[in-house]
Amino acid sequence: MNENVPNHVAIIMDGNGRWAQNRGLKRTKGHQKGAEVLKKISEYVYDKKIKVLSVFAFSTENWKRDKEEIDYLMKLFIKAFKGNFNVIKEKGVKVVFSGLKNKLSKKVIDTMDKMQEETKNNKNGIFNICLNYGGQDEIIEATKKISALVKDNKIDVKDIDKELFSKNLFNDLPPIDLLIRTSGEYRISNFMLWQMAYAELYFTDTLWPDFNEEEFDKALDAFNKRERRFGGVKK
């Protein structure tokens, strides 16, 4: 395959619960398997010289789930972050988190802060973990920051442009080139709305715990077959 490797890949990791239920298991077993898959896929992504990987770990809407499942997920996040951290760190990848810290426990926040601090100078890539995240919330928070700058006379309204707005998001990341969503759902679920303006969308029926390197390559193959015109016309 003649690859044009995307710079920024984002993944909505969907289907953990259904994977478990299809096997007569508790939903938490699906999340555990999903965390193992994320470890393998994240390593594979950086081995392919993709610079930025964003993953949707937990949305602001996920708080509606049962408390038992949420408590398990929060413990799993800490365990998975620590388990995957050394490999990511060795690859020289910078870890960042996007989302709101309210509702997150001190243990989760401390783990996030430690990972960000220890990798802040890494230059080989970025691993963006979206936790307690919503795309609309991100845009609102950026708007609040910019409004405060205008109010304090630090900038003028005419200074507001796409570059300034991007710098005031949770993290100033490059545009998403390829979005992958697993489990057969055909929607973007309030994920990285600003960054996804010109992303190529790839949907697969494969549930996240069954996703593997071969499935990832299928997404890359589909990406390479598309012509990206960014509003222009085919020449």
d(CA 197, CA 177): 9
- How many C-beta atoms surround the C-beta of residue 89 within 10 A? 16
| Residue 59 among known ligand-binding residues | yes
Give the residues across from 201 on adjacent strands.
Answer: 179
| Residue 31 among known ligand-binding residues | yes
| Residue 188 among known ligand-binding residues | yes
Q: Is 14 a catalytic residue?
A: yes
* Active-site residue, selected from the candidate residues 4, 7, 22, 62: 62
* Active-site residue, selected from the candidate residues 2, 4, 7, 14: 14
Torsion, CA 131, CA 85, CA 12, CA 28, rounded to 10: -80
| Residue 181 among known ligand-binding residues | yes
Q: Is 62 a catalytic residue?
A: yes
d(CA 157, CA 211): 46
Sheet (strand 93-98) strand order: 93-98, 125-133, 52-59, 8-12, 178-181, 200-203
- Buried/exposed 146-163: b ≥16 CB within 10 Å, e otherwise: beebeeeeeeeeeebeee
| Residue 226 among known ligand-binding residues | no
| Residue 23 among known ligand-binding residues | no
| Residue 18 among known ligand-binding residues | yes
Asked whether 62 and 134 are in contact (CB, 8 A), the reply is: no
| Residue 229 among known ligand-binding residues | no
| Residue 27 among known ligand-binding residues | yes
| Residue 83 among known ligand-binding residues | no
Annotated catalytic residues are 14, 62
Sequence ranges of the binding site for substrate: 15-19, 27, 31, 59-61, 63, 65, 181, 187-189
Binding residues: 14-19, 27, 31, 59-61, 63, 65, 181, 187-189, 200
Residue ranges for the known binding site for Mg(2+) are 14, 200
